[in-house]
Structure 1
Amino acid sequence: SFILESPAQIALIVNILMTLISGFGFVAACVTLINFAGPIVEVYFAKIIVDYAEIVKIQRENALTPRRVEASNITSSQVIN
């Protein structure tokens, strides 16, 4: 059987309870912060993914498009000073 014998035991129990309550408060604060910052981070990463997809699309189009090769205006018999 558990019997409270001294004010020190009561103080210890109250201290443990307050620590648990503050721990839950910390967890609740973290959850609130995650719920607030989560959508901001999601939008940021969604923008990164969309930008990356756009870059990949442009690179694929550039790879499929034949490049125009321009002839040089200088012939092999000309001397460059």
Structure 2
Amino acid sequence: MLELLHLNRESRIQLRRKRTILYKAMQLNEIVDQKLKVIVEYMQSEDFDRNIAREMVNSLREAKNLLTDALNMLHKKIS
């Protein structure tokens, strides 16, 4: 009986961790989307410089890829 309670507790802890990871991922993706909107607004402005926009997009892609990799590693560690 105690073993069952212990397993139930561990299961709830892992579920809470996964929900936390998902919540953080959603928050970070919202930030990335906001930054992408800033880039689009910049591209629509008169002061648009193609090289600067390209650098901004590349850095945003790199950040999103790093975020995805980190979340995948964290998910594997918890699972």
TM-score range, shorter chain: 0.3 to 0.5
State the TM-score, normalizing by the size of structure 1: 0.45
Identify which of structures 1 and 2 has the higher relative contact order when contacts are C-alpha pairs closer than 8 Å and 6+ apart. Answer: 2
State the TM-score, normalizing by the size of structure 2: 0.46
